[in-house]
Structure 1
Amino acid sequence: MNRFAKCIFVTAAILSLQAPLEVLGALPASAQTEAPATQTSEPSQAAMSKINAYVEFLNRSLRASESLQRYDSWVDMKKGPTGKERIIYGLYSLYDVRKEADAVTAAAAAEPKMPELDSAMLAYLETYQKLAPVIDRADKYYEREDYKSDKMEAGKAFHKDIAALAPDYWERRKAADAALRKEKVKLDLETLAALEKEQGRKARWQVRNVMFRAEAIMDLMPSNEKPVVDMPAYKQALDDYASAVREFDDYALAHPDSFHVFEDQPGSLLSKLRNFGEKLQKTKGDARKGRAGEDLEWLVNDYNMMVSTSQTATTFSKE
């Protein structure tokens, strides 16, 4: 697997699963806090709880995607392992997701109903629970290097199950991710409007607005499954983000010391996104061509840093 393929896989892994929501939602899983003082409607709180449960399971179960990607890096998926491969990497062990899986089942039955998302998450959970035991057993098999004593016999048997289950896993995970994004955007807009109504476009609103627009453009980044970027959509998302950053910067200039650590990050990311867009334009959005793919990992790192620092960005704000 080439360097670009690795890079865009990492991108998809990070961006497809935003961390649990506070009110608007751009927080790393390790930065969950108690509910903020701002009160939103009960339906919104219930919706946030549901989406958080889904996000936590998707984040935790992402290890299966990484394991399949590792397996695919050394196995011919059409033929299966032979034992004669130059390097046999095996797979990755999976995390214990029993608690998160139970939370998904409970969330799907809870209000408010989100038919498309609820159905997609249950379907993904079902497939994951079929695939996970196969990956775990295969991982132990390769870890013990049993293929050296059985001439890859068990490895070939594991491959049949992996090859049969992996397509459904990828399809259902993609569907769950898309449905989650759709519901999350609706909730983000609702909570952003509620925050503006209560506090106005002050520091907290500025951070949340910038992060909402940043997430929208990062969602358009190339992946292994979709390496060609929708350039009209990218341009529109970039324009929206640029507008949010200008308003953010104007507020920061008018209200010094409103933002902790975070202040320069939105503008820095904007500059890099513009340069990335210019490179993509030359290849008609195809990140496999030219040098656009080389910038991808840095963009993801910068965005993830913003996700992290946005949590404490207004800690010392006077407004």
Structure 2
Amino acid sequence: MPIAPLIRAAALAGTVVLAAAAPAFAQAGATIAPNSPTTGSADLQTSIVKANAYTALMNRTLRAIQSWERYRSWVDMRQGPTGRERYISYGLYSLYDVAGEIRRASEATRQEPAFPELDQTVARYIEAYQALAPLISRAERYYERKDYRDDNMAEGRELHIRMVPAAEAFLRERALLDAQMRTFKNDLDVRELAAIEKREGRSARWQVRNIVISARAVMDVMPSPDQPIADLKALDAAINQYGLAVREMDRFKENNPSGVPMIEAQASSLLGRLRDFREKLTRARGDVRRGAAMDANSLVNSYNMMVSLADTAIRMAR
């Protein structure tokens, strides 16, 4: 049986919650309403609108990456499908309807404030997705229906020849967009936290956003399928910074007995488990494949859960 894929800790630089699926993907962060008075200046608010549109598209189109990895798990990529593969029944995952996300992201590329490099990457990413998605959908139906039994894999081979370059182009644009969005959102995070603190101090809202932002920084440096050997120094720095955010939340509770419901326990548990994970990686010389892959997946899933509770935690703390 093929080896289960490692996690892709794609902690995207956005503000919309990222759906978790196998293999696990890290969520982007809690949603911040762009018209909230805590988001500060009009420029910051409109930047958040753009970030939300781009991240929503990235979240929803992750399914294409998952579907492609599913396909790669059973087919010989150099030879293409033959019909004799042991796990051919795996097929591909069906894709989600992303028409609304594409429309909103496309509109955002033309809206102010302009971020030319990022906006252009999003436009190319949409084009690459639209080139790949129909091929994946055709292949998904083809293998689900076992049409290869009727045509001796003729369509499967033709689809493979077309899907490989389309998937490679899509993944290149995705990697570039991930990096650019991470930088973009890091800047928004700094501005957003400052705006919240200026308005209401280090409130429950500030605590939740600080925890999620710090945890996402850890996800950014988690090992991935493309980079299974962790940068232990970077991971240490991120975990230490996350630990400071958790202790800041502890201090908040000392003066506010109600604390931040739902998030406190999740945040503390995640910190302890991250430290255990770090010890395992030390013994494995940073290679997550040497006994720590399941722990990594579990950590990303826990992060996903914490992010999904963030908005509820803020409402309960008011």
TM-score normalized with structure 2 length: 0.90
Name the amino acid aligned to 2:292: A
Name the amino acid aligned to 2:30: L
The 2-side partners of 1:19 and 1:34 are apart by 10
1:26 is aligned to 29
2:260 is aligned to 259
The 2-side partners of 1:95 and 1:230 are apart by 34
Deviation at residue 18 of structure 1 after TM alignment: 5.0
2:20 is aligned to none
2:107 is aligned to 106
Deviations 1:70-101 (A, max 9, x none): 11111101100011112312212212212211
The 2-side partners of 1:39 and 1:74 are apart by 47
Question: Superposition pairs for residues 111-150 of structure 1, below 5 Å?
Answer: 111-150=112-151
Question: Superposition pairs for residues 168-187 of structure 1, below 5 Å?
Answer: 168-187=169-188
1:270 is aligned to 271
1:97 is aligned to 98
The 2-side partners of 1:123 and 1:233 are apart by 31
2:45 is aligned to 45
Whether the aligned pair in 1 keeps the contact of 2:81 and 2:156 (CA below 8 Å) is: yes
Distance 1:317 1:165, change over 3 A: closer
Deviations 1:135-157 (A, max 9, x none): 11122222221110110011100
Task: Among all aligned residue pairs of Structure 1 and Structure 2, give the percentage whose two residues are the same amino acid.
Answer: 43
The 1-side partners of 2:39 and 2:174 are apart by 32
Distance 1:39 1:296, change over 3 A: closer
The 1-side partners of 2:287 and 2:39 are apart by 44
Deviations 1:203-228 (A, max 9, x none): 22122111111110111111111111
Point out where structure 1 has 5 or more consecutive residues left out of the alignment: none
Deviation at residue 36 of structure 1 after TM alignment: 3.2
The 2-side partners of 1:297 and 1:67 are apart by 18
Deviation at residue 105 of structure 1 after TM alignment: 1.6
Distance 1:17 1:76, change over 3 A: farther
Please say which of residues 86-95 and 183-192 is displaced more in the overlay.
86-95
The 1-side partners of 2:231 and 2:203 are apart by 33
Deviation at residue 115 of structure 1 after TM alignment: 2.1
The 2-side partners of 1:57 and 1:39 are apart by 22
Point out where structure 2 has 5 or more consecutive residues left out of the alignment: 18-27
The 2-side partners of 1:210 and 1:184 are apart by 15
Whether the aligned pair in 1 keeps the contact of 2:30 and 2:209 (CA below 8 Å) is: no
The 2-side partners of 1:54 and 1:164 are apart by 24
1:207 is aligned to 208
Whether the aligned pair in 2 keeps the contact of 1:81 and 1:156 (CA below 8 Å) is: yes
Name the amino acid aligned to 1:76: D
Number of residue equivalences: 306
Whether the aligned pair in 1 keeps the contact of 2:34 and 2:48 (CA below 8 Å) is: no
Deviations 1:221-247 (A, max 9, x none): 111111111111111111111111111
Name the amino acid aligned to 1:81: P
Deviation at residue 253 of structure 1 after TM alignment: 2.5
Query: Does the alignment pair 1:305 with 2:305?
Result: yes
Distance 1:123 1:34, change over 3 A: closer
Distance 1:258 1:73, change over 3 A: same
Distance 1:198 1:220, change over 3 A: same
Distance 1:39 1:132, change over 3 A: closer
Name the amino acid aligned to 1:183: F
Whether the aligned pair in 2 keeps the contact of 1:123 and 1:172 (CA below 8 Å) is: yes
Query: Does the alignment pair 1:56 with 2:29?
Result: no
Whether the aligned pair in 2 keeps the contact of 1:91 and 1:138 (CA below 8 Å) is: yes
Name the amino acid aligned to 1:119: Q
Distance 1:41 1:17, change over 3 A: closer
The 1-side partners of 2:197 and 2:287 are apart by 38
The 2-side partners of 1:124 and 1:154 are apart by 26
Name the amino acid aligned to 1:292: A
TM-score normalized with structure 1 length: 0.90
The 2-side partners of 1:305 and 1:39 are apart by 24
Q: Secondary structure at the match of 2:289?
A: coil
Deviations 1:158-178 (A, max 9, x none): 000011211111111111111
The 2-side partners of 1:64 and 1:304 are apart by 19
The 2-side partners of 1:314 and 1:139 are apart by 41
